[in-house]
Amino acid sequence: MVKNFFVAIVTIILLAITSCGNNSILTEVPSVNYSLTFPNAEDHYINVELKIGNIQDTVIDLRMPVWATGYYIILDSPKHLTDFSATDANGNPLKWTKPLKNSWLVKNGTANEIVVKYRIFANNKSVGEANVDAERAFLATNEVFLFINDKINTPSTIKITPWHGWSKISTGLKRVADETNTFYAKDFDVLFDSPIYIGNQMSINFRHEDKDFEICVARPQGLDTARFVADFKKIVTAAKDIIGDIPYNNYTLIMMEPGGGGLEHTNSQAIFTDSDLSFPNPGAYNNFMNFVAHEYFHLYNVKTIRPIELGPFNYNGECYTESLWVSEGLTCFYENVLMKMAGLSDARTILNYVTDNLKAYEPYQGKKRMSLAQSSTDIWLNFFNRDANGQDVRISYYTKGPVIGLLLDIAIRQASDNRYSCDDVMRALYNRYYKDAGRGFTPEEFWSICEEYSGSDLCEIKSYVYTTCDVDYEKYFNYAGLTMNRETYRIDTLAETSPEQKAIRKAIIGE
């Protein structure tokens, strides 16, 4: 039996080597090449040509995402796609059907290569949607590119021909060697996680922490470039010091024209800016840098340290998870941590952020009707829900999340004599699940790591996440030598503290 088993193994290996020599394995991977043109940017259209080669299937299921990762609302982007057509390599028309709102089934028969053409109407302005006008093009890639439904790991190239007058392309995607306007994505997840900005933006390029960076600024008027670049570098270093690693080779910060919102990506972030980049007061600058720090830390917390439900992504519908309070709430907490570590925010400013968050939910009945975990699951209903009764029936993980994150950090520090903190939790999640296991974490795994470092079961903190019970803020703030006014929610430092309280307080607010 052992001999036969050995012979079988050798035969399998030889067959594999022979197959590689004949390139039969390689041909199983389709070649995907996109070409983008802008016939008249003022009409808001993008023309897309998609060539797919090395086809093994007789029917190709092309899909378009119905949402943007990190933007938890169904956008129904396929409604913007028009003039779809498909041919073989010789231009002969191929039959196709559209069985779902975001699916195009192309019947290629025996064709080894197909050519698909379509147009995208890009006239919505948000960080999750494509927008084209005479000034520039912002390509939220989830709204532009079709993908092969059952082959998410397929690499692709993207060739862009800018409209006349546009001179620069900014993106976290890698440029193909010797092809100025051609880019490469190793799979569709990377493609949909890499926005593209095309226009005449100011481009600042530099190396930091042995990585390549580009800061793209659509309207740089008033910006103190040297100060901003120096402060951004401090944020990058602070994040690296927490996690111990940087998961990209190049990173692009896309600062668009005035607008609202920002969206995180593993290799970049795309954010709208204020109308005045000279920032009229220190508070305005501090708020903007907090915003940048928030989106930057997301490349760790949600992109690499992620709930297990958020990958592989379901681009065809909602991805429900109860753990967005970790991904978003703790990122709101960590934006202040980064600002403190970078020397860009003082203790009073950090405490004011906590107060502002408390004011957003503590005075309202929503805290009695929705748990923090439920706010994560229901974000698909509430991402842009502006119903007048909102504060009475729900809470947001953007406001309660960072407060509970702070309490969790204090709880771990207090229980471990300040030897461990949420930093250790984030590092462990990154290394164990992203680096070693190549996947996201479950809620049970998150709490297991928290309890590992605290040495306690953290039942009370858990109750603040999964129930609507009252929060004992005073207990945890006291561990850090802090006090809270229940009427104004202002957080202040205690005049007299023990060495243990003072050490925790110094660790969390720098004082």
DSSP element (H, E) containing 507: helix 499-509
DSSP element (H, E) containing 159: strand 156-161
3-state helix, strand, coil in the chain (%, to 5): 40, 25, 40
pLDDT of residue 24: 35
Instruction: Compute CA distances 443 → 323, 326, 412, 440, 465, whole Å.
Output: 7, 10, 17, 10, 11
Tell me how far the alpha carbon of residue 366 is from its chain's centroid. Answer: 27
Of 474, 287, 322, 477, the C-alpha closest to 401 is: 322
- Give me the sign of the Cα torsion angle 48, 299, 351, 280: negative
Radius of gyration of the chain measured on its C-alpha atoms: 25
φ and ψ of 479, to 5 deg: -55, -30
Fold assignment, 30-200 = Immunoglobulin-like (2.60.40)
Query: Rounded CA gap, 1 and 354, in Å?
Result: 68
Three-state secondary structure call for residue 412: helix
CB count within 10 Å of CB 90 equals 8
Quick one: three-class SS letters along 239-271? HHHHHCCCCCCEEEEEEEEECCCEEECCCEEEE
pLDDT of residue 359: 98
Query: Rounded CA gap, 343 and 351, in Å?
Result: 15
pLDDT along the chain (511 residues), means of 10: 37 36 53 97 97 95 97 97 97 97 95 96 97 97 97 97 96 91 97 98 98 98 97 98 98 96 97 92 96 98 97 94 98 98 97 98 98 98 96 98 98 98 98 98 98 97 98 98 97 96 97 82
Contacts of 503 (CB under 8 A, 6+ apart): 418
Query: Rounded CA gap, 345 and 348, in Å?
Result: 8
What distance separates the 2 farthest-apart alpha carbons in the chain? 83
Note the pTM of the prediction, 2 decimals.
0.93
- Please report, for the chain, the start and end positions of each structural domain, with discontinuous segments joined by +: 30-200, 300-509
pLDDT of residue 271: 98
CATH of domain 300-509: 1.10.390.10
**Is the CB of residue 252 less than 8 Å from the CB of residue 268?**
yes
Of 183, 178, 155, 137, the C-alpha closest to 42 is: 137
Contacts of 223 (CB under 8 A, 6+ apart): 217, 277, 278
Q: How buried is residue 389: exposed, middle or buried, by Cβ count under 10 Å (0-12/13-18/19+)?
A: exposed
If phi over 0 gives left and psi between -120 and 50 gives alpha, with beta otherwise, what is residue 418? Answer: left
